[in-house]
Structure 1
Amino acid sequence: MATTLSSLLSRTHLTDHDEILSAANAVLKKSKGDPEAQHVKAVALLKLDRFDDALRVFEAGGDALKERARLEFAYALYKSGRPEEAAEVAGLDGAERGLRHLLAQATYRAEEFERAREVYGQLGGREAQTRGEENDSGREGELVQKKKPAREDLEAFETAYNAACGCIARGELGQGEVLLRRARDLCNALEELTEEEKVAEIMPITVQLVYVLCRLGKMEEAERLSSTIHIPDIPDLSTRHIAQVNALCSSAEPTNPYLSQRLFSNTPKLPASDRLFTYQSSTLRQNAYAMDLLTLKTSGVAKSTSAFLSTQTDLPTSSSIATISVLNAAATANLQTGKAGIKAMLPLLEKRPNDVGLVLTIIQLYLKDNNHGTALTLLTTFLNRLEASGTPADLEIRYTPGLVGALVSLYSLQGRSATIRTELANASAYWQEHSQSGRPPSSLLRAAGSALLASQDPTDLRKAGEIFESLLETDPADRLATAGLIAAYATTAPEKITQAHLDALPLSPLEAAGVARPPAALGPVSAKRAAPQKEKQNKAKKLRKSRIPKDFEEGKKVDPERWLPMRERRGVVAEEKAGSRSETPTPGSKIVGGGGGGQGAQKKKKKGKGGSGEVGAGLGGYMCGMAGVLHCRVD
């Protein structure tokens, strides 16, 4: 049968996959179990993009065909929208290099990004260069890690586009815009591509560029560029849908919400083979609910978002869940704000006490009404309840960086710096101990370390040093962490500061101008005696007559305890008639050196007059002390 199939295939052109498929079917009519004919038929169907039909051939051929054509079987699963199963087949022991390429792509499509990074890293290196796979493996393996675009990224439009996508994913939108324009120009300059091929290659680049321009606030340019895209001509359905959404978002002028909703939903349903990533589908779901709210479909949004939230098992801190919670709160409150909106949302909080999005929405409404105290009380009550629960899930919610940041912002409005340091220190300690990935949130650790540096407490400084040390373990080139470590350990543990730490910091403006550094930045202070300096003679300030007491004598030393209450002065003596000192001054006692008392200090106090006698002077001093206490905030 193999000879018959070979003779049939020899009479067909290699690119004529329909004829190859017909030849394979002819052989299979005579021998249904012919493994070579089954293999050829599966490959022909894959070439014709008939992926579901190819999978049916593999199912009919059984394990023998799947093992014989393992690469083709994994590819059929991948193209049929089943990347998890494709990765399982491609990742079996003894996989050839082609299967490892497919494994990397399938794990990426299944959103197993860490595993995809590892596989791409294994595929890179010298072997990739030898096989001419730098653009397929080595470059992609580097792009999934944080890096700056290199010179080779600008040599071809494919690598420039990939580098642009990496920048966009890291939030570096300005650099992403530059690389996207570079990719478009490189593609236009290619002579080996036809005009139709150029249009097909530039289309996704343009759609991505419109998105970036919208994010950068360049709405007029985004709208102008979006108008050049003929959306119905985009063959890829997911790209077509995204382009339609970007066209709506890029409009510089307000549009009719009912027309926008119609255009938003006027795209065909995406097949399983062209499914979106989770972050894409989540954003589009939010957009759909927002469109419904703009067209006043509040009851429908409230009902559908409640149903969605009831089926979710992820933590409520997930951005996709928290955003839907916000939309649900807005729909339940019938888009009301202020006290009316808060009144409508508070009953929801009783039903969903752990709903992070709902709590933050109510807090935002309180802040809009300048009710900062109630907003802080609501958030601290919510977080304290989670902390008291003690369960791993509740503690993870409690120390979510976003919630910690919100709490710190509210504390900063009240100037509670000590409380801020405590909160950030506790949050950083939690994540350093419980981070599953081994990489605590760097933004939170930076904030905690910086806040602890402001303290003069050696314990806080040591904690700050430990935090910056952990940041340097993750990224040794982090200059902020290096500077923080030096500042924290300079007085508490200078032996932990190495010359490498000092060399990593840039020169200060003075050093760059030529001012020499000390021979030992952290060494002992030089014992060389400083040159004697002439003491400055301060001129005595001339007091105004209105400020001079009546009994003032020039040259007489003023009592330093004149502002203290009588009971706290050391010079209190009893009247001469008593003949002995009394611990508690009596109304008739004298104050030694009691300047500032005026004439009332020497005469009897008149009945009914507070005057400026002994009691009056004591009360004045007491109130002065209290003023100091009241102006000192206790955190």
Structure 2
Amino acid sequence: MATQDVLPQLYQQLNICTGTDDYLRSRRIAEQIMKADPTQWDAFYTKLVCFVHESNFEAVIRNIASHNFGDKSKELAFIHAYTLYRLNRHQDALNTLSKNENGIRELELRAQILYKMERYEDSVTVYQHKLSQLEDIDSDRLVNQLAALSLCPTPQECSITPDILDTYEQLYNYSSVLIAVGDAPQALDYLEKAESTAVNEMTQDPDYSQEELEDEMSVIRVQKAFASQLVGQTKEASKIYTQLIKKRISDHSVSAIASNNVISINKDKDIFDSRKRMKACTSEAALKKMTSQQRSIVHFNKCLLAINTNQLEQARSYLQHLRKIEKNGNELVPLLELSIQRRNEGLGDSKGSLLDLLSRHKDSPSIALTLAQIALNTHQLELCCEIICSTTPICYKPSFVSFVVTAYLRLGEFDKIDEVLTTAINYWLSRKDTESKSIEHLKKFVCHSANFKLQRNCYREAGEILEKFEEYFQDDRVYSQLLISSFAAIDITKAEKVLSSLDQKEIKKVNVDELEKVQNLRQVISKKTPLLDKISKKDDKPDRSIKSKRKSKKKKGKLPKNYNPDKPPDPERWLPMRERSYNKKLRKKGGRKVYARSPHQSTQSDKPEPKPMSANQKKKQQQKSKKKGKRW
């Protein structure tokens, strides 16, 4: 039969198969058409689509590479990039999209690829500046935009109004954005709405099973517990975490996040429970589904737990692994190194160790303040001030300047106090046009500096600094008082001039007699109450005929040895150990019964504390089964 006679029949069969979503048969018919005529573009494109639906992405790559249809090959850019995206070849997929013109679906795929590459800010840029111009509001696009926004390294304000959020995925991701910007109380409200919306949506849809409902609810609940933990409701958070762990959810990442956050609540208590939870956090299935930030938090807590249990060799190996996976460099990693060093060798009064660590991490205020606290705890007050003064710009803030001045007063270093105040004045003077509170801080430090000079009888220097900054003090009585005090010792004429410029308060209509009576208020006048004189002595004596009843004291109930009030009680505590669900059964080894041994008791922990982890995973719309008659 001639080719021209075969092709219409094959295309007719192909049209029928694509209408029934029979992708295997459709692909075979498309291959027959390609065999009869290799130049048939429609058959080739249908063949690629069938491979995608069969998840045979390698075959798509091979066919695109082996066929050339000229200008029409540009139309394969999207399917080629999507295939590379599904094969986790994200950079290749991004390069493929960059070579061709981008429509709506190409931009959405680009945003998804950037999200998978953890370039969240770039993904948000695509959504906000390119896809936001579209008139229609796509539900999936809104979910993905909120997910990218919640994971940005620097928290960003959300331009999306919460009134348009109507699905539980949108409400969930919006709550994650609120947590990222530090508004955990409001995030709890939206998580409540997301939970109720999810129950309503899934119970009304017959395509959802009970297991799918539990999986979706577990993601919302673990985020709800995390928000509760942020607002200080640790008991409620611990209760939710424990319930989720005992349910043994199919999503390993949810169990891992709950276990990690239980460790952060335990801190240096209940080390045995923390070690058990850490195994769930570091399972291979859980780590695969985490972001790099979540994996970093898990390994950080793993290293900290090893330090708290005095397993210093393991802690060093965990620390090396943590440095490898840290892309941007976590400023808390050097604190782990410092904790290991203190446990192993002890810093004591080692000034060189602290300054050496400070020189290697000059740009980290948290490390500098930690070292300053260590110096303060070891009674090295001068070293503490030296560390604070070398940490800019926090050393110019009023609280730190106040601490350093107080410390130098105690040490008798008056010249250094003058230097600290002068440096602070110059700093805030240089920022008077950029920061809102710079003038307020400047005036405060000028007054303190002048007052300090007056106390040291440096009247001329106090007057000079006050005259220099006169323009910032308009109608300030404290400033005028200091100026008069300084001029009174060196130039009485100037002092009288400043005094005459002050607005004198009117003292008319003042009753002098009333003012003189004010001092009488300080005298305590004791008078006997007339009622006490009428009470007879007989009434003061108790009647012996009435026997006072002895109150029986209730004994406090004894609590279990390892009782923890922050954790909910075990519901199976009344059952024998062998009947409890979590009891390990006896194992047979060599024909005899062997019991599992418990690990040794651990020691107390040292700071830094474990970090909790947010469950701000990207939630997608549940994809329902394809209906008949629909194409890809």
TM-score, normalising length from structure 2? 0.55
Measure, in 2, the Cα distance between the counterparts of 1:86 and 1:248: 39
**1:72 alignment counterpart:** 79
Measure, in 2, the Cα distance between the counterparts of 1:83 and 1:425: 51
1:174 aligned partner, one-letter code: P
2:316 aligned partner, one-letter code: A
Listed one character per residue, the Cα deviations across residues 248-275 of structure 1 (whole Å, up to 9, x for unaligned) are: 445697240443333332342755xx56
Contact 1:366 1:372 (C-alpha < 8 Å) held by counterparts: yes
Measure, in 1, the Cα distance between the counterparts of 2:334 and 2:69: 47
2:319 aligned partner, one-letter code: T
Measure, in 2, the Cα distance between the counterparts of 1:305 and 1:220: 31
Listed one character per residue, the Cα deviations across residues 590-614 of structure 1 (whole Å, up to 9, x for unaligned) are: xxxxxxxxxxxxxxxxxxxxxxxxx
**1:395 alignment counterpart:** none
Measure, in 2, the Cα distance between the counterparts of 1:238 and 1:424: 52
> 1:34, CA displacement in angstroms?
6.6
Match status 1:299 vs 2:313 = yes
Partner residue of 1:323 out of 329, 332, 340: 332
Match status 1:411 vs 2:421 = no
Measure, in 1, the Cα distance between the counterparts of 2:432 and 2:74: 45
> 1:447, CA displacement in angstroms?
5.9
Measure, in 2, the Cα distance between the counterparts of 1:62 and 1:408: 72
**What residue ranges of structure 1 are gaps of 5+ in the alignment?**
384-397, 433-439, 458-487, 493-528, 542-635
SS where residue 228 of structure 1 aligns? helix
Listed one character per residue, the Cα deviations across residues 437-464 of structure 1 (whole Å, up to 9, x for unaligned) are: xxx9xxxx4664652353569xxxxxxx
2:301 aligned partner, one-letter code: N
Name the Cα RMSD after superposition.
Answer: 5.0
Partner residue of 1:452 out of 438, 442, 458: 442
Match status 1:212 vs 2:219 = no
Q: Please identify, of 327-336 and 409-418, the stretch whose mean Cα deviation from structure 2 is larger.
A: 409-418
SS where residue 313 of structure 2 aligns? helix
**2:491 alignment counterpart:** none
**1:287 alignment counterpart:** 301
Measure, in 1, the Cα distance between the counterparts of 2:445 and 2:512: 36
Measure, in 2, the Cα distance between the counterparts of 1:112 and 1:90: 16
Equivalent residues in 2 for 1:88-167, closer than 5 Å: 88-91=95-98, 94-123=101-130, 127-129=134-136, 135=142, 145-147=156-158, 150-152=161-163, 155-167=166-178
> 1:21, CA displacement in angstroms?
5.1
Measure, in 2, the Cα distance between the counterparts of 1:93 and 1:82: 18
Measure, in 2, the Cα distance between the counterparts of 1:425 and 1:533: 45
Partner residue of 2:257 out of 214, 232, 242: 242
> 1:238, CA displacement in angstroms?
4.4
2:285 aligned partner, one-letter code: P
1:69 aligned partner, one-letter code: L
**1:11 alignment counterpart:** 17
**2:204 alignment counterpart:** 192
> 1:22, CA displacement in angstroms?
5.3
Measure, in 1, the Cα distance between the counterparts of 2:148 and 2:139: 15
**1:617 alignment counterpart:** none
Listed one character per residue, the Cα deviations across residues 375-413 of structure 1 (whole Å, up to 9, x for unaligned) are: 121343x55xxxxxxxxxxxxxx55x6997995575375
Equivalent residues in 2 for 1:297-376, closer than 5 Å: 297-303=311-317, 305=319, 309=323, 318=329, 320=330, 322-334=331-343, 339=348, 342=350, 345-346=353-354, 349=357, 352=360, 354=362, 356=364, 359-376=368-385
Contact 1:214 1:249 (C-alpha < 8 Å) held by counterparts: no
Measure, in 2, the Cα distance between the counterparts of 1:126 and 1:312: 36
SS where residue 102 of structure 2 aligns? coil
Measure, in 1, the Cα distance between the counterparts of 2:92 and 2:400: 43
1:210 aligned partner, one-letter code: A
> 1:374, CA displacement in angstroms?
1.6
Q: What is the aligned length?
A: 440
CA change 1:343–1:17 in 2 (3 A) is farther
> 1:157, CA displacement in angstroms?
1.8
Match status 1:533 vs 2:522 = no
Contact 1:219 1:250 (C-alpha < 8 Å) held by counterparts: yes
**2:240 alignment counterpart:** 225
CA change 1:105–1:215 in 2 (3 A) is same
SS where residue 343 of structure 2 aligns? coil
> 1:219, CA displacement in angstroms?
2.5
Equivalent residues in 2 for 1:536-615, closer than 5 Å: none
Contact 1:309 1:324 (C-alpha < 8 Å) held by counterparts: yes
2:300 aligned partner, one-letter code: Q
SS where residue 244 of structure 2 aligns? coil
Contact 2:215 2:251 (C-alpha < 8 Å) held by counterparts: no
Q: Please identify, of 212-221 and 192-201, the stretch whose mean Cα deviation from structure 2 is larger.
A: 192-201
Measure, in 2, the Cα distance between the counterparts of 1:126 and 1:262: 47
Identity %: 16
**What residue ranges of structure 2 are gaps of 5+ in the alignment?**
410-416, 448-470, 476-503, 518-632
Q: Relative contact order: is structure 1 or structure 2 higher (C-alpha 8 Å, sep ≥ 6)?
A: 2
**2:282 alignment counterpart:** 265
> 1:536, CA displacement in angstroms?
7.3
CA change 1:156–1:130 in 2 (3 A) is closer
1:246 aligned partner, one-letter code: N
Measure, in 2, the Cα distance between the counterparts of 1:247 and 1:73: 44
SS where residue 268 of structure 1 aligns? helix
2:13 aligned partner, one-letter code: S
